[in-house]
């Protein structure tokens, strides 16, 4: 079937506004990850969902960031009161499960620009 999809592909917003980024994982994948890729930097882990377990939020940079995953499928990453340093590419990835040799399949990302 289809790969991981994300929307919007690009988002320009003004400082202080809230934004919502959406991720549709590959059907049947129970593990879902959000990463951030800032210019000239490596991918940075943000949050992880696995089935109905409590998410691992250890990578969220501040309390302005939150995410949810409804029905074990679609996930939304919300950034409140955006700041210019939030400008980055936000990548979502999914995998059949978190363990062993299962790789993560990445979506095309949402390019966020905060003016």
Q: Point out which residues bind other proteins (CB under 8 A).
A: 4, 31, 33, 35, 40-45, 48, 50, 56, 59, 91, 95, 97-109
Tell me whether residue 92 or residue 114 sits nearer to other proteins (CB atom): 92
Tell the smallest beta-carbon distance from residue 57 to other proteins (Å): 11
Closest contact distance (angstroms) between CB of 29 and other proteins is 12
Q: Residue 35: which residues within 8 A CB-CB, separation 6 or more?
A: 43, 44, 45, 46, 90, 91, 92, 93
Cβ atoms of 67 and 51 closer than 8 Å: no
Do 77 and 68 meet the contact criterion of CB atoms below 8 Å apart?
A: no
**Nearest approach, Cβ of residue 46 and other proteins (Å):** 9
The 3-state DSSP class for residue 72 equals: helix
3-state SS assignment for residue 31: strand
Q: What is the C-alpha to C-alpha distance for residues 58 and 81, in angstroms, rounded to an integer?
A: 20
Nearer to other proteins, 72 or 98 (CB): 98
Task: Between 58 and 84, name the residue whose CB sits nearer to other proteins.
Answer: 58
| Shortest distance, position 115 Cβ to other proteins, whole Å | 20
Q: In the complex with other proteins, which residue's Cβ is closer, 31 or 79?
A: 31
């Amino acid at each position: 079937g289809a790969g991981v999809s994300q929307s919007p592909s690009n988002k320009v917003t003004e400082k202080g506004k809230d934004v919502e980024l959406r991720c549709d994982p590959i059907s049947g994948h129970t593990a879902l990850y959000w990463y951030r890729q800032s210019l000239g930097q490596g991918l940075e882990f943000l949050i992880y969902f696995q089935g109905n377990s409590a998410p691992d939020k250890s990578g969220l940079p501040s309390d302005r960031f939150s995410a949810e995953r409804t029905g074990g499928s679609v996930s939304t990453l919300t950034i409140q009161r955006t700041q210019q340093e939030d400008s980055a590419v936000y990548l979502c990835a999914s995998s059949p499960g978190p363990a062993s040799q299962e790789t993560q399949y990445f979506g095309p990302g949402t390019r966020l620009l905060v003016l």
